Each structure stands twice: as structure tokens, then as C-alpha cells.
Amino acid sequence: MGLIAFLKRLFWGTPTPSSVPSAESADSSRLAADSTSSSAKIIVRRKFRGPDLLRFSATVRRQGRTVQVVRGQPYRFARPFVISSVDYGDLSTDTNPAALGRFDLPVLRTPEDLAHWLGIPLGRVAWLTGRFFENERPQSDDVAHYHFHWVKKKSGGYRLIEAPKALLKFAQTQILRGILDRVPAHPAAHGFVKQRSIRSNAAPHVKSAWVMKLDLSNFYPSVTFSRVVAIFRSLGYSREVSIWLGRLTTSTIPSNLSAPDRRENTVWPYRLRHLPQGAPTSPAIANLSAFSLDVRLNGLAAKYHARYTRYADDLTLSGKGKSIPALREIIPMAEWIVRNERFHLNRSKRRVLKQHQRQSVTGIVVNQKLGVGRAEFDQLKAILTNCIRQGPVSQNRNQHNDFASHLRGRIGHFKSVNAERGTKLLKLYYQIDWTR
């Protein structure tokens, strides 16, 4: 090949023939080539099927998925197919009633079915999905469907809390009660699961030779819109309904939202549509999104005769003395599984605790039995005593809006782990004069 011919092919590609040979001529030429030379090859290029040809096909395959193309709008808010104004892709035909029946889930095939089930007019449901926003993103927090506020983390940085406004919260509560609550989480998941708690999460790790703790970074923001849609698809819902459910349970931040520290890295994890921390549906969806992670880490633990639990974004593995040498294999494999499941680890929070160290899991000491550290007990006891002597206002140093509920919650935590100590603290609490 000459230099000029090579440069032409490099910049403009191989010239397209003016006509495409028929299948018969291609077969005959291929046979002729095979008979004359074993090294000769004839490549028959398929004619490009442009949008105009695709639109009039009865069905079209996109990335391995079949799209049913119909003339006329099959349901309200169906999107036109490609660039046609009369042809539509029907994404409601792949509902799986048998799969939905496994958990007795409502059968919803179209957006109209979803709106009727929610008890909200279809136009309002479409509005809640952000369909009418420019670029499908609110321009300001005034028109967004969430209230946004930043909370400072104990470890540094900020976390975005996204609380849904009234109508969206109503819809999300319906989705939680009617769909998500009926789908069981993995047995190793203990956060936000009925009849499970931080106590049940810590109990399997009592008297362990080693305890390894891992922390998922930006757990909720890492659960993207596509992953949420895939969850609803796996339950048996059609692509159309899954997209609508996904948009009702995810969030995208307004264009003008900025972080308190003015750092772009703080806002960046929330730019894509994601699972919002503050929505009633988010804990259940987060557990389902981590189901495969739980299966694989639980299998890894079982292989080495260890135990695994997860409470929200806190992962814990523990084992007996015989498995200590295997830690060299367990640690990198566990981290690889987390990455492979498209989650991110906070490496600064990774801990491997041996028996001679204080082993705590979700705030509960597990060295010999379930318990709360003596220092934490003494600190809370001192706060309650000072509330009795000096008044509760003097002890509310972090300016809790409901300091009484805050103290009751901490006492309840102690009581769930150690009933005797919890009762002692509760007696002090009842002696506080809240009028001071």
C-alpha cells in the first residue's frame, strides 16, 4: 500500500462501495475465492440501517434488549422512538407478573397504573419525576422536590441530607410500604431491617480472635439511578414503570447548590442522579443494592469459617484463631469484592482488631460479651447528673433541637445492650427538671 493510499484510509476510512452485493452473489464469490486461493477472503459489509429504516421495524434490538415499536402513543408520556413523531417505543410489554407474585407486589405495567396505585394524578407524578425540569434537573432548590441541607461529619467534611417535600414523601412512603418492605434484605444486613438492630449486627462477632471493620464511602450517592432502575426491573416491573419508580426514589441536586466549604469535591458525588439520604425509601433500596455484595462477602467469610454482617455502610468480618493466617487473603479479596460491586471503601476507617484490643462493632464491645464501654457509660451518667444539678440547658453543648429525645435515644442504646446499666441511667433521666 502506497503512503498516499494509507493516509487516505487513515483519515477517511475505507471507501464504501456504490452498491451492496446480494447474499447470492456474496456466497458465489466467496465459494469462488475459496476454490482459487485458500488465503483469499471476501468481506461482505452489511448495509447500514439508519434511523429511518429502524423506525418502521416491528421490533428493534438495542444492546441486547428488544424494544417494541408501535405507531401511535401506547400510553401517556411515552417517548417518541428515535426522531419520529408518530412511532413510539413501548417499554411496558416486559412486565413479569410471575416474578412480582413472589413477594405479592402490585402489578403495574404503565405510568397510568402507577399513578392510579399511588392515588396521585398522572401529571403530578410526572412532575415529581422531574420530567418537566430543564435538562431534567431543578435550576434552584425552590423548585426542587427536596429540602437540602449539609451536615458536618465527625470525621471531617460534609454530608448532604435530602428530605423530600410533602407530595414526594407521600409517594415514596407508598412505594416503601407497598413494594420495598415486602422484599427481604440479605440475612447479613441488619441496618433498617425489622427485628434487627445494632445488637443483632454485633452479636455474631462476640469472642472473636480478630475483627475486621470496613466502611463504604459515600454509600447513598454511589447508588446511582441506573442501579435503582435495575432493582425494580429485577423484581419484575417493566422498563417504563421501573424508570418512573427510579426517578421517584432518586434525586438530582439543583444547579445552584454549593457546599459550605465551597469545595467542588464535596458536591461532586451528588451531581449524578442518586439515592438521597433522607428519603423514606432510601434505606430499603440501599440494602437491596448491596444484596450482591452481601452474598459475595458472606460467601468469602464462610470459605474461611468466618462471619460477616453489614449495618448500612459498616461492614464487619470476624473469625476464630485458626483463620488469623488467612487474613492476608481475606483482606485483599474483601476489598476487591467491594470495588467489583461498584462501591468505594474509606481506607482511613479500615481496622483489624485482635483479642488484646478493644473490639467494638457499631458501638458495641464484643470482646467477651455484648457491652458498652465504661467510658461512654460514665460520660452519659455525668451528663444526666449535671442535668439534675444545673439544668438540661447547661449540658446541651451541641445545641440539639430536642435534647430530651437525644438523651432518651442514648439511654435506649445502653439499655438494648445492658439492661441493668440502662435502667440506672433511666432513673437519673426521670429526675431531670425540664422547666429549668
pLDDT reported for residue 20: 44
Three cell numbers written together for 280: 423514606
HSE-up of residue 300 (Cα within 13 Å, Cβ side): 23
In a domain, 259, yes or no: yes
Same domain membership, residue 382 and residue 269:
no
CA-based max dimension of the chain: 105
State pTM to two decimals: 0.79
Same domain membership, residue 270 and residue 153:
yes
In a domain, 171, yes or no: yes
Torsion (CA) 118, 179, 204, 335 in degrees, nearest 10: -90
pLDDT reported for residue 5: 65
CA distances from 223 to 272, 355, 433 (A): 10, 35, 45
pLDDT reported for residue 12: 56
Boundary residue ending a domain (266, 285, 304): 285
Boundary residue ending a domain (260, 285, 310): 285
In a domain, 231, yes or no: yes
| Residue 238 Cα to chain centre, angstroms | 20
CA distances from 83 to 51, 67, 86, 87, 160 (A): 8, 15, 9, 9, 38
In a domain, 49, yes or no: no
pLDDT reported for residue 83: 60
Angle CA 174–77–84, to nearest 5: 155
pLDDT reported for residue 99: 97
HSE-up of residue 297 (Cα within 13 Å, Cβ side): 31
CA distances from 152 to 28, 155, 161, 254, 406 (A): 73, 9, 10, 20, 18
Q: Which residue has the cell 418512573?
A: 244
Same domain membership, residue 137 and residue 248:
yes
Structural domain containing residue 403 = 374-431
- What is the spatial distance between Cα 126 and Cα 142, in angstroms, rounded to a whole number? 18
In a domain, 408, yes or no: yes
Burial 392-412 (b: 16+ CB within 10 A, else e): beebbeeeeeebeeebeebbe
pLDDT reported for residue 28: 45
Same domain membership, residue 222 and residue 111:
yes
In a domain, 131, yes or no: yes
- Profile the chain (436 residues) by mean pLDDT over runs of 10 residues: 58 51 45 41 39 40 63 83 72 94 97 97 94 77 92 86 97 98 97 93 96 96 96 96 97 88 86 95 98 98 97 96 90 97 94 94 92 87 93 87 90 86 92 88
In a domain, 348, yes or no: no
Same domain membership, residue 123 and residue 222:
yes
In a domain, 153, yes or no: yes
Same domain membership, residue 137 and residue 251:
yes
Same domain membership, residue 396 and residue 277:
no
Boundary residue ending a domain (240, 260, 285): 285
Same domain membership, residue 383 and residue 242:
no
pLDDT reported for residue 7: 54
| Residue 65 Cα to chain centre, angstroms | 23
How many structural domains comprise the chain?
2
pLDDT reported for residue 424: 92
CA distances from 295 to 26, 185, 189, 204, 343 (A): 51, 11, 10, 17, 14
CA distances from 273 to 199, 221, 352, 368 (A): 33, 8, 34, 44
